[in-house]
Every structure is written in C-alpha cells, then in structure tokens.
Structure 1
Amino acid sequence: MTLRRPRKAVLMVALVVTLVVLCCGGSLTVVLLNGLTNDDSDRFLNASLGCGRGGVVDPDSKLPRIRPYGPDQIRNAAIIIDVGADLKLPPRAWVIAVATAMQESRLVNLGHLGTRNDHDSLGLFQQRPSTGWGTPAQVRDPVYASTKFYNKLQTVEGWDTLPLTRAAQAVQISAYPDAYAKHEPLATQIVNLLADGAANAAGNLATMECATAGQIAASGWTIPLRAPVGSAFRSASRPNHQGVDLSVEKYRPIVAVASGRVSLVKCDEDFRGAKTCNVDGYPGKGGCGWMVEIIHADNVMTRYCHLVQRPFVRENQQVAAGETIGRVGSSGNSSGPHLHFEVHINNDRTSNGAVDPVTFMREHGAALGNEG
C-alpha cells in the first residue's frame, strides 16, 4: 500500500533549525531547536510550537531523533499522525494512537514474534490476524494498521474524554491495561513536535484552537477553573508561595486538570494543630484548609487548596481530566475565596518539586488566567 500524503504537510523539523511561530497569545516566539530530545532541557517546548495550525508533518521529510526513538520510529509516529489527520480525527486521537504504539511496539513495525508474544501479533499495534485485524501483510502496513486502530477507537463511547489508558485499553484489550498512561507525556511531545503543537489544541480539525477556555487539550490537560491569576508563584513579596491563587467566588466548581489518581484528601492543620476547615480562614491561620492532591502521568502532582467543604473525591480514586473534585472556598490560611493551585514534578510534595503552574499549564495547552 502506498503511503498517503497529508493534505497540508507544511511543518518540516530539522535537527538544527530556527522556528518562528505565532503562539496562542498572538506574540511571535523564536525557538532554536538544537538537537531535539525528550530530556529535561527541552521537555517543555510544547507552548512554543503553536496549536496545530501549521498542519502535520510529511513522514518522508527529514525528521528529528526524539530520544529514545530513532528516525525509523519517529517516521512511524509521523505516519500514525498523518493517518489520523487524513481521517479528520482531532489531535487527541493522534496522542492516544502514538502512545498505544509506543507501548505495543516501541514504534517498531514488528514482524513475526513466534511464541514470545501471541504468535501472530504484528505491526505497530501488535494486531493479530487470527482475531480479525487483517491479513499479516495488512497489519504490517503502518497506514492500514493505524487506520484500523482509529476505526476501532471511534467505536469507544466517549473516547475523546476518557483517560488515555482507558481509551487505548478499550481498543487493544491488553493484559497490561494500565501500561499506556506512562507514554502519554512523551506521546504528547512527539505530536507537538511533528504537528506544530497540535497536542496543545482543543476541538476538531475544523475548529482547532488553543485550549484556553476550559476545554481539554489533546494533551489531556485542562484548567482547574476559569479565573484570573492573583498572587503569583514565588513572587518578590511572597517568595515561599509555591503555587498561584486563582481568585473567584466561593462555591465555583474545581476540576482535575488531567486524569490521574487522588493521592491525598485532608483537612490541613493550621499552625496550632487544629483541623477547622468548615469555616472561612484568615491570613496567618496556616494550613491549606480542605485540600486535594492528584498524581498524574510522568509523576506530576497537582494540589488544590482552600476548598469550601470536604472534597467530592476520595483517596485512591481515579479521576478524569475535567472531573469536578470540589468547590472554591476560603478555608485555612486564606484572606478570601480563591483556589490555591500547585504543580509538583517527580511526585515531590515539597517546595523542591514545585514549579510555576502558569508556565507548566501553558506549556501543556491549558493556560491559566481565563476570566471567569
């Protein structure tokens, strides 16, 4: 089968190239892509790559090496993205498909594996001819295999809002149903690099826009609520402020910013050791009041403080992006109703793991600061 060319293949990424793009806020950003990898130095290139408006990459163009994947593997990822665009599926589908192929084959077009793996599991998605996926030659054709994956994905009810691992498992029926989630962050980076930041966008191909109004981006991230940013992260006046304050009226719903597992629900003690969270707090009282912490893919932890009442979720509960977890309040060390929101990397709950939520969320396609 001949590889179909994308209808609008305009993004050609080289190993060393200066890229000028128009970002979500309307300002020009110049980014030097000096050897693209997925290490810490450039893991947050996403925001600088727009929101998918430049189209998808030509799989036959010169492609970057994105560690740990080589050129052939990245070309297979480009084909998966290209097929998804050709089928007019939104970028969320591309992220799911790439992450699935990363788990199933490491983006390698697998041949016959013999007794090591179900005998006839073949291709990028380990599809089995014996279970109706197609002939051996067909499932080893990346275009055919990707098309079959996308067709099955579209039969899954609510696939575009499900956590990635649940959507992928519904298609693959894997013996390791939780294995797909760990690939979501790098799959998001690959889609962003190969398709002009498409994983930062929301909507379908006709209405694609930066996910700045509360939609769930193709990356799987959304904002906790629409509100202006008040007190900033580690400002000069508050150097120990490990998050940002989103100022909004009491009882506004708060949602999980990405799918994950609730790791903590508690009434945080004040400086006197008292657990008094069902009342408004005050400056100097201490503590987070009613609070929630959620662990997401790539060991990112988000924290939500000062809720008005006991949160709606429980510890170890799985939540989806956009799922309501509680309501805004003023409990704990608070001068008025707002959500104190933190982001920590490496599941480090301390100040050492805290990063600026404004930067992090913007780079994941879900910019904070939208007026309510």
Structure 2
Amino acid sequence: MLTGSGRRRGRVVAWVASATALLLCCAGTVVYTFFSAQPSQPGINLIGCGTTNAINVEADLPKVGNLNDEQRLNAAIIIKVGQEKKIPPRGWVIAIATAMQESTLHNYGHLGDRNDHDSLGLFQQRPSAGWGTPDQVQDPSYAAGRFYGKLKTIDGWETMPLTVAAQRVQVSAFPNAYAKWEPLATDVVNTLADGAARSVVGGNAGTCANAGEISASGWTAPVKEGIVSGFRTAERPDHHGVDLGSPRGTTIHAASAGVVSVVTCNASTPGGAPYSCDVDGSPSIMGCGWYVEITHAAGVVTRYCHMQVQPSVFVGQNVTAGQPIGISGTSGNSSGPHLHFEVHLNNDTNNTGAVDPGVFMQQRGAPLEG
C-alpha cells in the first residue's frame, strides 16, 4: 500500500553501460522494477538553450559520457549538418540516437561476414537500397544529410516518440532499440551545442522551452502550474516527488513518450480498509489515489498521483510526450487538489532511487515552474 502523496550486427555492443530503474511510492515502498540501458549522464550544463553559431568540428570537443574522440567528432558532424540544413535540435537528438544504435557512432566500412547485407557508415545505410554509393554513405556529412532529408518527409516527426521517427527513416529489424539511446543523445547535443536539447520543439536552438512546451529532448511539464511543495524538504523529508498546484480538473499530460506500466486506485483508511478513489481523500487517508506510472527511455519512470477520476490511459498503452492521461484531483492522501509528480532512476529498492523532478525536468528543458 502506498502511503503518500545492438541493432542487427554483433559488433555494436562494447561501450554501453547498463542500468536499472524503478519507481517508489511517496513514503518509499517499492512498487515496480524495470531493466534498462545507458543512464542519462549527470551534471548537464544548464547555461543557455543552444548556440545559434555553427558548431566547430575542428575544435577540441568536450567530453560527454564515455564517447571517444571519434564518436564525439561524428556526433558533432551530425549536429553541424543539421544546423546547415536548418533542422531543429529535436532532429539532432533523433539522428545521434539512431547513429548510436546503428554503429555506436563509428563510421564502419564493409566488415565481410559480419556485415548486414551492404550496410555501411554511421547510419548503416545500404547502397543497394538507394542511399548512395559506398563512398558516399561512408562520408559522415553525406550520410547525416541523407538521414535528415528522409526525416523531413515524415509528417509530425518532431513530436513523435524518437523510436517511431527513427524507424520511419531506417526501417530497422529492431525498431524499439533506438529508444534506449535518447538520454545519451540528449546529453551529447546539450554538451556539444550549449544545451540545444532544452530548446522548444519546432523552434531553433537558442529558444528555451517553457512549461507546457515539449523540449527537443522529448520532455514536457505534466501541468503548467508550478511547484508548491518540493522534493524531500526539511518539513517533508519523505516527500519523494514534488506537488504541482494544479486546480481540480486540470488535464495532466505524459511528461515524455513511453509505455503506461501502472493504472490503479491506491487508497485506504489508517486501519488498512480499502477506500474509494472516486471521492476526495484527506490527510488521514493513505495512498496516492488514482495514479499512473509511465516507463520511458532508459528505464526512467514517472508517476502521477491523486487524479480525480480513473485515468484515461491503460496499462501497455504507448503514449507520446504531452498526451493527456487524466485530470488532477485530491484522491488518496491529499489535503487539496494538486498533482504529485515523481521521477525515479536506477534499480534501487530504497528511497535513494528517487530524484528531484525539478532538477531532472530542468536538465531536459521542461521546467516545472514555481
């Protein structure tokens, strides 16, 4: 009971660090555990929302994750081509995540028996499928240009889940594999392009996303209202999320694309008897009331508590960033209408798995106001 508010070729493997993620309830009870890969790197520079200057691929590029010099250079070339073609930063994130999955950002030539047909280069483009000559698809600038050219033909690509957009371009045998690279691709773009992944979707680098807008990293605030109670404050050290002051009936949005993993009512009396989530709760009632959990790329899990009525999504449903999932209320352990919002990382069965949603969302260009 809750008590509070590697694509197809074997060589594409070596440098991926594994991680796990879980979601804890407001008082620290373990709820659900997932396995994932490649956690988001900490310590993202929060200055700016992207340079409008062309990236200098000949400069000393800053370190990011465990990428080597070759990988960082190839990522910088992908960003540079995107800038030249006036592709907004969301496209840079998609392109880099795709190249990470296809080649781990290595410009591979033909590898004999290990090759998948005639796939070559950063994006494993096939000359026989019309992507260009072998020499062309092994030119990182040409390959990135062809990727962006195909991406631009896809209606609505900017707000699609990264996996969907990448698959529409690549037509891979493993379409879901791209998602795990989104956090690292976001960090690469932020590090090499001065925070461009925090720019608003549809805008150019330099324009920061505001609350309620989807950022180039694919995240958005679940409601526009700001924080009224913070993460693990002195007054509430067991408050493993933040409270957003949304009035009753406010539409709650998925913070990022993902899969709905939990939809349930969680409420009980102090004595442990079940309590309805279809009526207002109170501080004496236990649990999160009507709530939803969504699993995102790299095993990040978000939780949305105290909804007024049964959520409008179902377990197993794929949702996009900004998609409505329910309305705010005051069910369960709640003293008034608001949204309790949590973010959790890592395979941690204790409260150490929780992270401050305010910091997490700021790093992804989706600030929680207040």
Structure-2 residue corresponding to 1:185: 183
Aligned equivalents of 1:120, 1:231: Cα separation in 2: 56
Question: Against the structure 1 CA distance between its residues 273 and 353, is the aligned structure 2 distance closer, same or farther, given a 3 Å change threshold?
Answer: farther
| Residue 78 in structure 1 maps to residue 76 in structure 2 | yes
Question: Against the structure 1 CA distance between its residues 103 and 142, is the aligned structure 2 distance closer, same or farther, given a 3 Å change threshold?
Answer: same
> Match of 2:286, SS?
coil
Q: How does 1:198-347 map to 2 (within 5 A)?
A: 198-204=196-202, 206=204, 208-270=206-268, 271=270, 272-346=272-346
Question: Against the structure 1 CA distance between its residues 273 and 57, is the aligned structure 2 distance closer, same or farther, given a 3 Å change threshold?
Answer: farther
> Match of 1:325, SS?
strand
CA distances 1:233-265 after superposition (whole Å, capped 9, x unpaired): 111111111111111211110011011111111
How many angstroms does 1:79 deviate by? 0.2
How many angstroms does 1:117 deviate by? 2.6
Instruction: For 1:69, give the aligned amino acid.
Output: L
How many angstroms does 1:347 deviate by? 5.5
Q: How does 1:1-372 map to 2 (within 5 A)?
A: 43-53=41-51, 55-204=53-202, 206=204, 208-270=206-268, 271=270, 272-346=272-346, 348=348, 350-369=350-369
Structure-2 residue corresponding to 1:20: none
Question: Against the structure 1 CA distance between its residues 117 and 198, is the aligned structure 2 distance closer, same or farther, given a 3 Å change threshold?
Answer: same
Aligned equivalents of 1:205, 1:221: Cα separation in 2: 15
CA distances 1:86-136 after superposition (whole Å, capped 9, x unpaired): 101100000000000000011111101233232311110000000000111
Question: Against the structure 1 CA distance between its residues 47 and 252, is the aligned structure 2 distance closer, same or farther, given a 3 Å change threshold?
Answer: farther
How many angstroms does 1:333 deviate by? 0.8
How many angstroms does 1:213 deviate by? 3.0
Structure 1: runs of 5 or more not aligned: 1-38
Question: Against the structure 1 CA distance between its residues 347 and 259, is the aligned structure 2 distance closer, same or farther, given a 3 Å change threshold?
Answer: farther
CA contact (8 A) 2:61 2:72 kept: yes
Instruction: For 2:351, give the aligned amino acid.
Output: S
Structure 2: runs of 5 or more not aligned: 1-37
How many angstroms does 1:356 deviate by? 1.1
> Match of 1:269, SS?
strand
Aligned equivalents of 2:205, 2:364: Cα separation in 1: 19
Aligned equivalents of 1:55, 1:260: Cα separation in 2: 33
How many angstroms does 1:219 deviate by? 0.7
Structure-2 residue corresponding to 1:23: none
Aligned equivalents of 2:205, 2:79: Cα separation in 1: 18
CA contact (8 A) 1:243 1:356 kept: yes
How many angstroms does 1:348 deviate by? 4.7
> Match of 2:120, SS?
coil
Higher relative contact order (CA 8 A, sep 6+): 2
Aligned equivalents of 1:222, 1:205: Cα separation in 2: 15
Instruction: For 1:326, give the aligned amino acid.
Output: G
CA contact (8 A) 1:234 1:242 kept: yes
CA distances 1:44-80 after superposition (whole Å, capped 9, x unpaired): 3335232003534211111234343210111000000
CA contact (8 A) 2:50 2:205 kept: no
CA contact (8 A) 1:289 1:307 kept: yes
Bigger shift: residues 129-138 or 198-207: 198-207
CA contact (8 A) 2:211 2:368 kept: no
How many angstroms does 1:297 deviate by? 1.2
Structure-1 residue corresponding to 2:28: none
Aligned equivalents of 2:200, 2:349: Cα separation in 1: 30
Instruction: For 1:152, give the aligned amino acid.
Output: K
> Match of 1:85, SS?
helix
CA contact (8 A) 2:232 2:240 kept: yes
Report sequence identity in percent.
55
Bigger shift: residues 235-244 or 125-134: 235-244
Instruction: For 1:303, give the aligned amino acid.
Output: R
Q: TM-score, normalization: structure 1?
A: 0.85
How many angstroms does 1:320 deviate by? 0.9
Question: Against the structure 1 CA distance between its residues 340 and 50, is the aligned structure 2 distance closer, same or farther, given a 3 Å change threshold?
Answer: same
Aligned equivalents of 2:56, 2:203: Cα separation in 1: 17
Aligned equivalents of 1:204, 1:329: Cα separation in 2: 32
CA contact (8 A) 2:260 2:316 kept: yes
